[in-house]
Amino acid sequence: MPYHTFECSKMLPDREKHAVIKGPGEDITSALPLGNLNTVPGTITERGCAYCGAKHVIGTPMKDVIHMSHGPMGCTYDTWQTKRYISDNDNYQLKYTFATDMKEKHVVFGAEKMLKQNIHEAFDAFPNINRMTLYQTCASALIGDDMDAIAKQVMKERPGVDIFVCNAPGFGGTSQTGGHHKINIAWINNKVGTVEPVIKSKYTINYVGDYNIQGDCEIMTDFFNRMGIQVISMFTGNGSYDDLRAMHRADLNVLECARSAEYICNELRVRYGTPRLDIDGFGFDLLAESLMKVAMFFGDDCVEKAKAIIDEEVARWKPELDWYAKRLKGKKICLWPGGSKLWHWAHVIEEEMGVKVVSVYSKFGHQGDFEKGIARCSEGALAIDDPNELEALEAMKMLKPDCILTGMRPGEVAKKIGIPYLNIHAYHNGPYKGFEGWVRLARDLYNAIYSPVMNLAAIDISKDDFDTDTGFKTRTMLSDPGVPREELHTENMYTGKMDIVTPLRGKKYDFPAPEPKADAVV
């Protein structure tokens, strides 16, 4: 077994089987790290808790809902607005966050009375919203507040409102994946089957496991609508509370993120006989295959529409992708997402953008995620389960990647050592789904790797010959013919034209010279 031991973790023997390097001829039988285990004490993990997995990942993207956390203010604040879960109702769920704000006195004397008062106040403040989700936290779980009983009392007192209770305290699992499971099962147990949908097409699906980051869901549902397929519910990106209560009437569950939402798909199959079809919404080839799989489930007329969509999109966007792939070829990246992008992107980003994936990791992935990810990785890739900051730094210094694809916390650490990153949790300039979205990701990757800013980041102004008291000339100064200057031409990524910028005074630094480009993705 090709386990890799980090120098910084040698004093933690339990960490020795959480990282592997895929060698020649090795597969998942000999190159699989341990995963989905309790965090090893002392590693200072960057994982989220079960409450975060329930509220932040799955619950919050529901758009017409008051999302109320029963616990300290810090819990709800930490899970508010850190991802761009947009919606078509003016982003209501991103504008407001709600908490009962438990204090020490509530832990001692109980907080049920305060919870009920908070629920009524929230509904009074937003009379046009009559749906609510209640999230349990560690504090309210430990003192045993009966949130279900309070919810029933309020629904009796306020006819017309509906409240969903999610009992997923932070300690309710090894990581946020424990919260994924709890909210999936609670929703199907308590809400699915309580609303009958209006059926408008002979083909119906639930689109599951997409959270509409910067509009991902809208890209996919547009494809489905053009194929003549009605999307009854979206679990849960831009999803409506009542639509999600009607999931039992769909002909098919189309599943994107298996790590966060396979649980409800499996239960819908057991209880209602609804089949499950897993897809990949990222990458030209995988997206085309996915649309065709969904179309073939419903028949020939859907297949013809899917083919037409694919042909149109590929013809429009493939030349753009090829332009970026030519310039990204051979660049090394670390693919460090939270969950399913570990395997959604592992091979397709290599094949279609020309980059080399030198490492994959997951903070909360199960063995199945690593099996799929490592099977899709090329030889030499370093796979890590639940890495901490020191391990990530050590891996970056060893692998010397050109860019890190991850979230903000490890990404900002990478920037400190001169390595650019793309935020693939909340996206830099998404959406990244769809054919155009995949080109948008390639553009962001190109911009990150070739940005002159990262050259500047490596400058040590305490040692280099750099006039810190002079500063940079502004564009206004550049327009003044009386100011002597050297001209440095660089490509403007949005116009494709060559702009003039100010070089550094003193020591000269070599910046990459990009080729002129006729067309650019804006």
CA distances from 404 to 37, 71, 414, 418, 421 (A): 25, 35, 7, 11, 4
Q: Is residue 206 a contact partner of residue 254, using CB atoms and an 8 Å limit?
A: yes
Per-residue b/e over 23-42, b at no fewer than 16 CB within 10 Å? eeebeeeebbbbbbeebbee
Q: Is CATH 3.40.50.1980 the right assignment for the domain spanning 50-190?
A: yes
Grouping H, G, I as helix, E, B as strand and the rest as coil, residue 202 is coil
- Which whole number is the average pLDDT over 177-196? 97
pLDDT of residue 491: 47
The residue-averaged pLDDT of 235-254 equals 98
Q: Any residues with CB less than 8 A from the CB of 453 and at least 6 apart, and which?
A: none
pLDDT the model gives residue 510: 46
* Mean pLDDT for the stretch of residues 325-330: 96
- pLDDT reading at 273 higher than 50: yes
Q: Which residues contact 163 (CB under 8 A, 6 or more apart)?
A: 119, 131, 132, 133, 134, 151, 154, 155
Mean pLDDT of 468-483: 48
Going by C-alpha positions, the residue among 294, 346, 61, 337 that lies closest to residue 180 is 61
pLDDT score recorded for residue 467: 53
The pLDDT value given to residue 399: 96
pLDDT (mean) for 306-334: 97
**Residue 287 and residue 352: Cα distance in Å, rounded?**
12
What average pLDDT does the chain have?
88
- State percent of the chain over pLDDT 90: 70
pLDDT for 514 beyond 70: no
C-alpha pair distances (Å), 486 with each of 134, 491, 505, 517? 61, 17, 10, 23
Q: Report the pLDDT averaged over residues 490-502.
A: 46
Please state which CATH class domain 204-311 belongs to: alpha beta
Radius of gyration from C-alpha coordinates of the chain = 25
pLDDT at 470: 45
The tokens for 239 are 């999803």
Residue 257 has pLDDT above 70, yes or no: yes
> What's residue 515's pLDDT?
57
Q: Can you give the pLDDT at residue 387?
A: 92
pLDDT of residue 331: 97
Residue 511 has pLDDT above 50, yes or no: no
pLDDT greater than 80 at residue 478: no
Delimiting residues of CATH 3.40.50.1980 domain(s) in the chain: 50-190, 204-311
| 28-46 average pLDDT score | 84
Task: Name which of 192-206, 259-273, 355-369 the model is least confident about.
Answer: 355-369
Contact 294, 229 (CB under 8 A): yes
Helix residue spans in 356-403 (DSSP H): 367-376, 389-399
pLDDT band at 98 (very low <50, low <70, confident <90, very high): very high
pLDDT at position 497 is 52
Residue 234 scores a pLDDT above 90: yes
Residue of 210, 491, 293, 446 whose CA lies nearest to 438: 446
In terms of pLDDT, which residue wins out, 460 or 498? 460
Is the confidence at residue 410, as pLDDT, over 60?
A: yes
Q: Tell me the C-alpha to C-alpha distance, in Å, between residue 46 and each of 18, 39, 337, 386, 392.
A: 15, 10, 12, 8, 11
Percent of the chain at pLDDT exceeding 70: 88
Find, among 239, 209, 205, 243, the residue nearest to 223 by Cα: 205
pLDDT category at 45 given cuts 50, 70, 90 is: confident
Q: What is the pLDDT of residue 339?
A: 75
Give the pLDDT band of residue 397 (cuts 50, 70, 90): very high
Position 82 scores a pLDDT of 79
- Rounded to whole angstroms, the Cα distance separating 106 from 170 reads 18
**For 302-316, what is each residue's pLDDT tens digit?**
999 999 999 999 999
Q: Is the pLDDT score of 333 beyond 80?
A: yes
pLDDT interval class at 498 (50, 70, 90): very low
| pLDDT band at 190; cut points 50, 70, 90 | very high
DSSP 213: B
pLDDT value at 501 more than 50 = no
Gap between the Cα atoms of 280 and 376, Å rounded: 13
